[in-house]
Amino acid sequence: MRVRETGMAVGTVQVTLPAGGSAAGPAEVAWVVGLQAQGRGYAKEAASGLVALLRKAGWTVIAHIHPAHLASQRVARAAGLSPTAEVHDGEVRWVIRPAAQAEQAMVVIRAAVPGDMSALQDVFRRSSLSNDGDRANLLTHPEVLEFSDLAVREGRTRAAVADNRIVGFATWLGTGNFLEIEDLFVDPERMRQGIGRALVLDLIAIARGQGIRRVEVTANQHALAFYEKTGFVVDHEVTTMFGPAPRMHRDLIPAGGGA
């Protein structure tokens, strides 16, 4: 890694590839930035570039990161990787699938049924814990990691299914003037593959079907960029159990005008 303007070497970014090619296993990336050059986004830029190249070339990309190493977790997240439940020698395995595979993965969205509860609970728990800033809070309030079956019983939960597995879900509440997104969770191993956006578009279709012209959400701080990308704007800040959070909305243009 060199600084563009000066050519000064500031660190390294590396990849280890299995000799048998991408079918034989994932590409493992790692980075190191010298102490004086840390905190300037060098690792983010270098790792993101390398990961993008590898994904385009058909590789699943992984990294192993110590749970206490927050700076490296930010680098990995910026490069599009997500944490998995796998731990090797005390380090968490992060992963992102190849671009082609992500695009090909067929995702179907359907109403969730009571038989989906344990899969929904599993996605809910792992997805909630994937937000770095929330983890400590959630672990001290384990009751909020329990997903109630009320919305499923009331037919207000939509499940995203790929390869016969639930990979995300959303729960909505119709309040008359607007449709509220109560929950939106994607399996950490399947984030950044368009599943969250597909769930939002599905809720927009439900709103339209009910003649509702606005969708609202109290967004998790970590999901702010995602909601902005999917057409939501911030209205104001509200106080939640875990601190301030942006209240956001998306107005729906009449059907035929695009989603």
Ligand X SMILES: CC(C)(COP(=O)(O)OP(=O)(O)OC[C@H]1O[C@@H](n2cnc3c(N)ncnc32)[C@H](O)[C@@H]1OP(=O)(O)O)[C@@H](O)C(=O)NCCC(=O)NCCS
Residues 121-150 that bind ligand X (CB under 6 A): 127, 130-131
Site string for ligand X, 230-249 (x = CB under 6 A): x-------------------
Nearer to ligand X, 10 or 130 (CB): 130
* Closest residue by beta carbon to ligand X: 196
Segment interacting with ligand X, rule: CB under 6 A, options 61-69, 178-186, 207-215, 249-257: 178-186
Nearer to ligand X, 10 or 250 (CB): 250
Contact between 197 and ligand X (CB under 6 A)? yes
Phi, psi of 118, rounded to the nearest 5 degrees: -70, -35
Q: Least distance (Å) from ligand X to the CB of residue 222? A: 5
Q: Least distance (Å) from ligand X to the CB of residue 259? A: 13
Q: Which segments of the chain does DSSP mark as H helices, in order?
A: 42-56, 70-78, 99-104, 117-129, 135-140, 150-153, 195-209, 224-229
Three-state SS for 244? strand
Contact between 194 and ligand X (CB under 6 A)? yes
Rounded to an integer, what distance in angstroms lies between the CA atom of residue 249 and that of residue 214?
7
Segment interacting with ligand X, rule: CB under 6 A, options 7-15, 55-63, 91-99, 191-199: 191-199
Among 193, 202, 204, 246, binds ligand X (CB under 6 A): 193
Q: Least distance (Å) from ligand X to the CB of residue 107? A: 10
Contact between 192 and ligand X (CB under 6 A)? yes
Tokens 């993101």 correspond to: 48
Contact between 196 and ligand X (CB under 6 A)? yes
45 close to 11: Cβ distance less than 8 angstroms: no
Q: Which two tokens stand for residue 237?
A: 């800040």
Determine whether 244 is exposed, middle or buried from the number of CB atoms within 10 Å of its CB (0-12, 13-18, 19+): exposed
Residue 225 identity = A
Residue 203 identity = L
Rounded to an integer, what distance in angstroms lies between the CA atom of residue 218 and that of residue 235?
10
Contact between 157 and ligand X (CB under 6 A)? no
What residues make contact with ligand X under the rule CB under 6 A?
Answer: 127, 130-131, 184-186, 191-197, 217, 219-220, 222-223, 225-226, 229-230
